[in-house]
Structure 1
Amino acid sequence: MSFIADKQTLDDLGILNRYRSDAVFTLFNQVKTNGGERLLEEMFRNVLTNEQEMNDRSNTFRYFQQLSLVFPFSREQADAMEDYLGAGHQKRLPATLLAIVGKKLTGAFVGDKSFVALVSGVQTTIAVLKLMRTFVNKIDEHAGDHPFSASINELKRILDDKRIAVVWKEKAERINSVSLLAKFDYLFRAVLYTEMKQLLTMMYQLDVIITVSNIAKDRGFSYATALEKGKHVFRASDLRHPGIKKAVGNTLELSAQSNLIFLTGANMAGKSTIMKSFGIAVYMAHIGFPVAASEMTFSVKDGLFSSINVPDNLQMGYSHFYAEVLRVKKVAEAVAKSKDLVIIFDELFKGTNVKDAYDATLSVTKAFATFRNCFFLVSTHIVEVGAALQEDTDDIQFLFMPTIMEGNVPRYTYQLTKGISADRHGMKIIENEGIIDIIRSAATAFPDKV
């Protein structure tokens, strides 16, 4: 079973797009190697499926965060070793020696660079092995039981292999004879090829783990505790958007008894930001990554849907409103399949008139709230819907983002408050921007255009 999070949701929340400077992936993509970047993207795309996997990964990050290690390998070293190991090998030492002699002669007479590349590959591999042994010893100084212990022990097994002992006696810069070069090339790409590939893979894992844990420490992120599916719990303290430094934190709590938050507030008050913060935290917790909160506990869900920036589809002939309807239908179909989902609706049905939007938002919200196995965060400007819901239900949380007017200037606290917004400051903001004055001045200046 896989976690459901479609492209619309990932785009809404700004999670994966590596080309967006504000994407969550970009925030964590400070790895030192290309292999580390590939692994990081794979971890982002492949959501974990049970609480043990999530907690193990979180605990690994937490453990390395305490160590505050610096990844010792460069991108150039990792690329060179990967290219070298992937360039093929001979199955016998004599064949390896003959092939190297051929490369050297070809390089001398026709300028072929393959011999130079081979020397560089062997030298880099020796340097990486020595660095890795020093690095593993440093980790071993802080030895303790943690989820990455098995991988560290596997690294130690490879590095303690008697067949590799010859490496510790040689200096990489002295690999200048054909016979010695053939000896090491055969060792790395034939005898110990599987072990060298394993070591490279674990290098990339360490790159990601150290990078992510150091970013978490720098940004003040924490590690969520995952509970088994069916517990229907979400609790987060000081929840904020990971991309905003010094953001105002908020507390969110959902359960089977109170599974829907109805959110109101003025434009710019912070509704969309808290909704994205919630969705991002849910997703990141499900891949075992740090979350932008001081504390978080959650039960495993089957998927995450959002409807924040639903585009129209001119090619299909869909209006914005019809695109919204189709989005809500897709979510309803998933909910109807008894999936445990987290669902975020920002400004439902804003593509139609106020009366239809009121009726549709009220009906859809009431219907969704009956599915206790799902969590919902629904926002709207139509505060009258909230009043109607309060009359019919007693298990919906009503929260709003306040706007405080200081004279004619709005100030936003970005702090969730219980209740339904009574803010009516839209015209004040329009007046502050002088829009009406601009129109009136234009009408006076160009009466023939009016």
Structure 2
Amino acid sequence: MLKVYDLSLEDDILPLFNYTNSGESESLLKQIINKPLGSISEIHDRQQIIQALILNWDVLEAFSYQRLDYREVKNFLDDVASKRIVLETRQLKAFIKFTYDDSWRQQLRSRSVQVINFFHKLSSCFFSRLSIAFFPASFQTHLQVVKGFINKLSIEQQAELVAQQKFNLKATVHFSQKLDKLTPEEVSALWNSLAAVEAYISITKGILDHQFNFPAFNNNAFNLQNFYHPLLRDPVKNSLRLASNDNVVLLTGPNMSGKSTMLRAVSLCVYLAHIGFAVPASAAVIPYFDTISIAINTNDSLQDGYSHFMAEVKNLKAVVHEINSGKSCFAIFDELFRGTNSDDALDITATTIKGLAKYNNCYFFISTHLLGLKKTTSIQGVKQLSIGCTLNNDLPVFTYRLQPGWSELKIGRILFEKEGIPEMLQSEV
């Protein structure tokens, strides 16, 4: 089960890592971001790829190309490989054709030079300088596909002819002969591998630019040091350490104190870790979870005909079904059951907390305004945390700091009165 719509992956998180130049690379990056990996070994493999790119960053930092060049080169090679463009490879006939069709000769030479220059830059500036041994075998394959393609077209020799202005009619025919041998499968493999390399370079740049750090995995620990949400301009960084039996975290704090943002920050660290990325924290040790469910903006479902409350019930039921099948689970419930009346909400939230607290290898974060839940502190497996807020001249001062214990501060009435609404309501009509 994966429910992470509320993290706004493509709108908020993708831009943190998207430095791609082509639509193919961006599409692959979206796929990577939207799909958690299936095991810790797969996560370690992806981490190793990114760490190898970091070791080669002095070579890759300036990786780029012109979008228009890429598109034109790709279209040309695709057309050649699929024989939509038929090249004359017999030297005598080519010379005769070029003699009588100057525009075609100029066009073919121009396209050939564009192909040569495009791959020469990729080779001389980047691929030929990489230390491939750093990379896991799965990623070495992509690098070898690109380098093999460059070698097959003898790009270095062709580029030298172009530089010396010796890429003449004869050289154009010889290069056409190489192009004519390309198969659709070879060309497709080239673009797929180039997109993969570029997508991972883009991820690496995002990680380095934002100074994220790689997490470790331990099924008996949940520890986030100095974590934050990267979309905040000047974020307050918090730390969170949970024992293996702290199955339910009950989070309290007044409105506007930052509970939802806190939950998003924790969720983002967990999610990014599960796609093999570094996380917005100075250090992180977390379990591997089979199921991730984030419910921060649970709304009515018009399509399914569910009310807000029923949507919450259905979401909770899906989570419980997963954990009852033996899966480890990380779940967020922001103000659980706020879609029903306070009496019902208190009763069924207490029942939910008591039930969830018995599940080991799972962590559930529940934010609430229900003061009656304070007594759940006596339930084994429940940890109560709050977000700091003080009053200064009857105005709330938010610290955005995570702290142990329960928050009973009520600022609703204070703000209501500060705005002079009671007096306004008492005025004569």
Summarize deviations over 1:332-362 as a string: whole Å, max 9, x none.
Answer: 2222222211110000110111110000110
TM-score normalized by the length of structure 2 = 0.86
Kindly provide the amino acid, as one letter, of the partner of residue 112 in structure 2: V
Asked whether the 8 Å contact 2:358–2:381 carries over to 1, the reply is no
Task: State the partner residue of 1:298.
Answer: 286
Q: Distance in 1 between matches of 2:126 and 2:226?
A: 36
Structure 2: stretches of 5+ with no match in the other structure: none
Q: Secondary structure of 1:171's match?
A: helix
Q: Distance in 1 between matches of 2:50 and 2:358?
A: 37
Task: State the partner residue of 2:202.
Answer: 211
Q: How many aligned positions are there?
A: 421
Q: Distance in 2 between matches of 1:137 and 1:316?
A: 51
> What's the CA shift for 1:94?
4.4
Task: State the partner residue of 2:391.
Answer: 405
Summarize deviations over 1:143-189 as a string: whole Å, max 9, x none.
Answer: 76343556445544554558555424321896986664443244235
> What's the CA shift for 1:310?
1.4
> What's the CA shift for 1:294?
0.8
**Is 2:350 aligned against 1:359?**
no
Compared CA separation, residues 24 and 239, structure 1 to 2 (3 A): same
Q: Distance in 1 between matches of 2:345 and 2:102?
A: 74
Task: State the partner residue of 2:122.
Answer: 132
Summarize deviations over 1:178-227 as a string: whole Å, max 9, x none.
Answer: 66444324423524765554444343333323332222222221112245
Q: Following superposition of structure 1 onto structure 2, how do residues 371-450 of structure 1 map, counting pairs within 5 Å?
A: 371-385=359-373, 387-391=374-378, 393-440=379-426, 443-444=427-428, 447=429
Q: Distance in 1 between matches of 2:99 and 2:421?
A: 77
Q: Distance in 2 between matches of 1:175 and 1:53?
A: 49
Asked whether the 8 Å contact 2:37–2:275 carries over to 1, the reply is yes
Task: State the partner residue of 1:111.
Answer: none
Which has the larger displacement, 310-319 or 300-309?
A: 310-319
Structure 1: stretches of 5+ with no match in the other structure: 109-113
Compared CA separation, residues 435 and 96, structure 1 to 2 (3 A): farther
> What's the CA shift for 1:277?
1.0
Q: Secondary structure of 1:416's match?
A: strand
> What's the CA shift for 1:425?
1.7
Asked whether the 8 Å contact 2:73–2:114 carries over to 1, the reply is yes
Compared CA separation, residues 35 and 117, structure 1 to 2 (3 A): farther
Q: Distance in 2 between matches of 1:363 and 1:106?
A: 83
Task: State the partner residue of 2:2.
Answer: 5
Kindly provide the amino acid, as one letter, of the partner of residue 338 in structure 1: G
> What's the CA shift for 1:233?
3.3
Compared CA separation, residues 276 and 169, structure 1 to 2 (3 A): same
Kindly provide the amino acid, as one letter, of the partner of residue 58 in structure 1: Q
Asked whether the 8 Å contact 2:52–2:134 carries over to 1, the reply is no
Q: Secondary structure of 1:422's match?
A: coil
**Is 2:30 aligned against 1:14?**
no
Q: Distance in 2 between matches of 1:339 and 1:105?
A: 72
> What's the CA shift for 1:124?
2.5
Q: Distance in 2 between matches of 1:439 and 1:103?
A: 89
Q: Following superposition of structure 1 onto structure 2, how do residues 185-264 of structure 1 map, counting pairs within 5 Å?
A: 185-188=176-179, 190-191=181-182, 196-227=187-218, 231-264=219-252
Q: Distance in 2 between matches of 1:312 and 1:139?
A: 54
